[in-house]
Structure 1
């Protein structure tokens, strides 16, 4: 990976911030300050289902990075539930690159498909516009062909990042972005994953970074691997075990396959904040998925804000910021 993982994860994390504050976050983060500056920011929507921004690396020879936001972290907003549908692996899939729908059982060998939710997120993402009406697709197309380009994202953003990169590789002129996904889920089947393999434009260009104790990046090709997380406690119990087996059973025939070079980050169980096991398990699950946890695993400072029940977040030094994350809600995956 040409760019430091800590920088790419910080950019992906800053994408959760309020759009108007993105330039300030880039300027104040110890990781990006004086290095990265925003050049295109999706306009502030009342219901921001998808969001991204472009930033320029001001160092000599620096390029441009596309940072894609993950699931909108406010379950009281319809944007959260729209994103949750994009996170879901179930339902009809979409053939790449046409978007034509196909039932999982009707996939042909070598037929590259992504989940219907991922296709919806991708379509929404490239159509985003800034305040001047310039779409993300136009902004990317307007970059000089020789500009080094990176694509990064956390969670849903990590799921969408390789899809956007593949779209860029198929346009004229074709681009070969560097891709770093953090906590991303598997967007498509094995035929889709092969489009990043040997002999392709994106061969060796995708790094899949994941916390080994974060359950999200094990979706949707290895969900049963999460059964024994958080040893010795807190445990999800029988209900979680049944839910995981039911999910694995429902995923039969989808043929989900991970993309890119895996880069595991060794997670550590945090000290429980409550004696109530179900609540402790949910909090631990959320903690392992948060951007700041990924930054800590990379040896980087936290974001200049804390993510909780809302994407308009508190500054990191706010008195209530420390407790904010403990009350956030993890993503919910819908059928």
Structure 2
């Protein structure tokens, strides 16, 4: 079976998440990724793709063996990828989403209330450490501080071979095509890093040869940032299916993660799967209200990046927090693979539970914690009987 370019890029994106359920030191996880990435891509039979930079596994605490990777990214190349309008020498930068046991990514999620002046950061030098803005002018583009710290890691941490992506991208032909992709957190970081590199003058490829293909990403910044992205990466619809586009965030209408961090979209979450029973409904509403407070305290109005949506069959209304999480994870992960019809890329490690993947995700992380607390209360009540 042959896969079109969007399907190929999506599989490459998924391959960045091979370690999503794994724990280990940075060195252990790097070894796992080094051994598995190229064979995984080859076995998917999506075309002549080879890993040319990385993969890089990065952890804020590299010696901690009891947590997952905080960032995983790599670049693959196909010397003759078919885009429909011709074949091109193509490079794809794939950025992983949140690993189940990543502490640093939970911190990134928590840094929605702090923001960074995007232009100020670019002008100071995009490889400098991002600094929190003390005032906010809504007419200027801002991104969440968590997003900025994620971008900073991607730009400044070198591959095991000692080369940053900035240094590598400077070596590729200007006529080559370049695609930035990622799912979930990777769906916020990949278009943002593309725009950061472009505005910093670090991409020598012609603008028409640089594309973003984020999926299921939360909004990285305010309306001015979203407008700046749209101006520099115009939305291109490339076919009849919703996923056949460039420079837009592909989102499932039943996926909770892309509802972060706009106020109206956050408010839609408690009834997204119908009217919840009283106790789960209270818990979800409380967590959503906390997220809204966090988004408001940033001083920004978060606005989603442009994109296209699709809808699965409406899921049945969950009766428990566990069922809510299972439904949400299905809509956030499996639904996209089903839409694109691509081969699945399972994690190298087995998740400890059917809900653990929710742990570090926006909104769902809070619901996951509430679910664990409810389970613990049930256990204590049974012991007390």
Question: What is the TM-score with the length of structure 2 in the denominator?
Answer: 0.72
Cα gap change, 1:172/1:325 in structure 2, threshold over 3 Å: closer, same or farther?
A: same
Q: Match for residue 8 of structure 1?
A: 9
Stretches of structure 2 lacking an aligned partner (at least 5 in a row): 19-31, 63-68, 81-86, 122-129, 236-245, 367-385
Matched, 1:135 2:164: yes
Shift of 1:296: 0.8
Moved more, 263-272 or 123-132: 263-272
Q: 2:193 aligns with which of 134, 156, 164?
A: 164
Larger relative helix fraction: 2
State the match for 1:196 in structure 2.
Answer: 229
1:242 and 2:286 are equivalent in the alignment: yes
1:263 matched to which residue of 2? Answer: 308
Residue number in structure 2 paired with 1:51: 72
Matches within 5 A, 1:199-278: 200-204=231-235, 206-221=247-262, 222-231=265-274, 236-252=280-296, 253-260=299-306, 262-268=307-313, 277-278=320-321
Kindly state the Cα deviation for residue 229 of structure 1 after the two structures are TM-superposed. Answer: 2.1
Cα contact 1:180–1:208 (8 A) shared by 2? yes
Q: TM-score, normalised by structure 1?
A: 0.81
Instruction: Compute the displacement of 1:332 (Å).
Output: 4.5
1:186 aligns with 2:235: no
User: Match of 1:301, SS?
Assistant: coil
Offset at 1:154? 0.4
Q: Aligned to 2:181, which of 132, 137, 152?
A: 152
For residues 175-224 of structure 1, give each alpha carbon's deviation from its aligned partner in whole angstroms, at most 9, with x where no partner exists.
43211111111111111112123xx3322351110111110011111211
* Native 8 Å contact 1:42 1:129 kept in 2: no
Would the alpha carbon gap of residues 191 and 289 (structure 1) be closer, same or farther in structure 2, given more than 3 Å must change? Answer: same
Task: Spell out structure 1 runs of 4+ moving beyond 6 A.
Answer: 232-235
Q: State the partner residue of 1:77.
A: none
Q: Which has the larger radius of gyration?
A: 2
> Any idea what SS the aligned residue of 2:113 has?
coil
Residue in 1 that maps onto 2:344: 302
User: Structure 1 CA distance, aligned partners of 2:76 and 2:91?
Assistant: 6
Q: State the match for 1:35 in structure 2.
A: 48
Listed one character per residue, the Cα deviations across residues 249-283 of structure 1 (whole Å, up to 9, x for unaligned) are 442232111112x21121235679xx971211122
Q: 1:109 to 1:279 in 2, by over 3 A?
A: closer
Q: For 2:327 and 2:197, locate their aligned partners in 1 and report how far apart those are by CA, in whole Å.
A: 37
Q: Is residue 213–residue 268 contact of structure 1 (8 Å, CA) maintained in 2?
A: no
> Partner of 1:42: helix, strand, or coil?
strand
Q: What is the Cα deviation at residue 227 of structure 1? A: 2.2
| Equivalent residue pairs, number | 304
The structural deviation recorded for 1:138 is: 1.1
Q: Is the CA contact 2:58–2:72 (under 8 Å) kept in the aligned structure 1?
A: no
Paired residue secondary structure (1:264): strand
For structure 1, list consecutive stretches of 5 or more residues without a partner in the other structure.
75-79, 315-322
User: 1:51·1:69 contact (CA, 8 Å) conserved in 2?
Assistant: yes
State the SS of the aligned residue for 2:53. strand
| Offset, 1:299 | 2.3
Is 1:67 aligned to residue 94 of structure 2? yes
Distance 2:181 2:191 in 1: 8
> What root-mean-square deviation, in Å, do the aligned CA atoms of Structure 1 and Structure 2 show?
2.7
Q: Which residue of 1 aligns with 2:326?
A: 283
1, 23, 26: which is aligned to 2:38? 23
